[in-house]
Structure 1
């Protein structure tokens, strides 16, 4: 009986992996943020044919948004990879919950642009590199800083500097946003001043 159960579970796991690997990733955007996603994607023509699913999640630990490869993509070639951008339905300001979709339009575009910066970074990595990246992101704070600043930099290089700055200033200049979240932004992400310096050097 035990052997049959193990065999059944093994077959089920293999079937799930094959299904995820062979199923086609799809583009999907919630209607409520369709305009903001389209505006951000306009700055990333390289992602035009890359399947990206944007979906709301009740809560994301320590973040408002998070980009990651779809599970099945880890069994695909890089050119056939798809991604998921998770978006927290709400975040807290002074203990009260506010819907993410209600932040200023340019701020939301900047937040999405940062996540697309992550996708650009992921597109440059092989599958084993991505797995190693995920492990280091969980375990090493210095790797978190490198990953988040790289995503900011990708967005800035693609012309989204003003949007990224507006997003940072919305967080850092808002007296009602929890100080611990502000400190995370200061520690791991590019500052508005650094972004302006990058733009000036580019010009």
Structure 2
């Protein structure tokens, strides 16, 4: 049980499902918090500012969730997306936390600067987060999230393009699952 996590009651079930795939984060303080708007994103995971000055073992994280996102000019509440899609989004963000847990403080600061400045670094970071979720058994959720975005005629093409450019595709995820299955057998 992730006793150090805080989250809005409205997404309790989805957060708990996603956290089950990340037992190594059990004692890591993670706050899931709604925010009015996040630029270019539906969710964003980051260390809390004050914990950047602590050792990685004592770092705390916040996952910001945009209250709304636009689909072709029409705003939708994030909590109204299909539950499995929301679990997939949360799982991806927890993949970032797993990645951040491997980095020292200076490396985290460098990571943040590169993320803001370098497109290739964004792609590497987003694909690493997807990979972390898939490796932990969340492939179905991640694929549902990708398909929700990519197959929804109402979602702006600019957002779909960003997803195609920086994240694993559903096909790449299926290949990872197949490779993992072949190694296990």
Mark yes or no: TM-score above 0.5.
yes
Q: Which residue of 1 aligns with 2:166?
A: 188
The CA RMSD measured in Å over matched residues stands at 0.6
Q: Does 1:175 align with 2:130?
A: no
Tell me how far 1:188 sits from its aligned partner.
Answer: 0.1
Q: Which residue of 2 aligns with 1:140?
A: 118
Question: TM-score under structure 2 normalisation?
Answer: 0.95
What is the alpha-carbon distance in structure 1 between the residues aligned to residue 176 and residue 33 of structure 2?
31
Tell me how far 1:27 sits from its aligned partner.
Answer: 2.9
Question: TM-score under structure 1 normalisation?
Answer: 0.87
Q: Does 1:48 align with 2:17?
A: no
What is the alpha-carbon distance in structure 2 between the residues aligned to residue 146 and residue 27 of structure 1?
27
Q: Which residue of 2 aligns with 1:6?
A: none
Q: Which residue of 1 aligns with 2:83?
A: 105
Q: Which residue of 1 aligns with 2:8?
A: 30
Q: Which residue of 2 aligns with 1:198?
A: 176
Q: Does 1:130 align with 2:100?
A: no
Name the count of aligned residue pairs: 178
Gaps of 5+ in 2: none
What is the alpha-carbon distance in structure 1 between the residues aligned to residue 143 and residue 164 of structure 2?
13
Q: Does 1:157 align with 2:151?
A: no
Helix, strand or coil at the partner of 2:5 = coil
Q: Which residue of 1 aligns with 2:56?
A: 78
What is the alpha-carbon distance in structure 2 between the residues aligned to residue 160 and residue 85 of structure 1?
18
What is the alpha-carbon distance in structure 1 between the residues aligned to residue 156 and residue 113 of structure 2?
28
What is the alpha-carbon distance in structure 1 between the residues aligned to residue 93 and residue 74 of structure 2?
25
Tell me how far 1:132 sits from its aligned partner.
Answer: 0.1
What is the alpha-carbon distance in structure 2 between the residues aligned to residue 75 and residue 188 of structure 1?
29
Tell me how far 1:191 sits from its aligned partner.
Answer: 0.1
Q: Does 1:67 align with 2:45?
A: yes
Deviating runs (4+, > 4 A) in structure 1? Answer: none
Q: Which stretch shifts more, 73-82 or 169-178?
A: 73-82
Gaps of 5+ in 1: 1-25
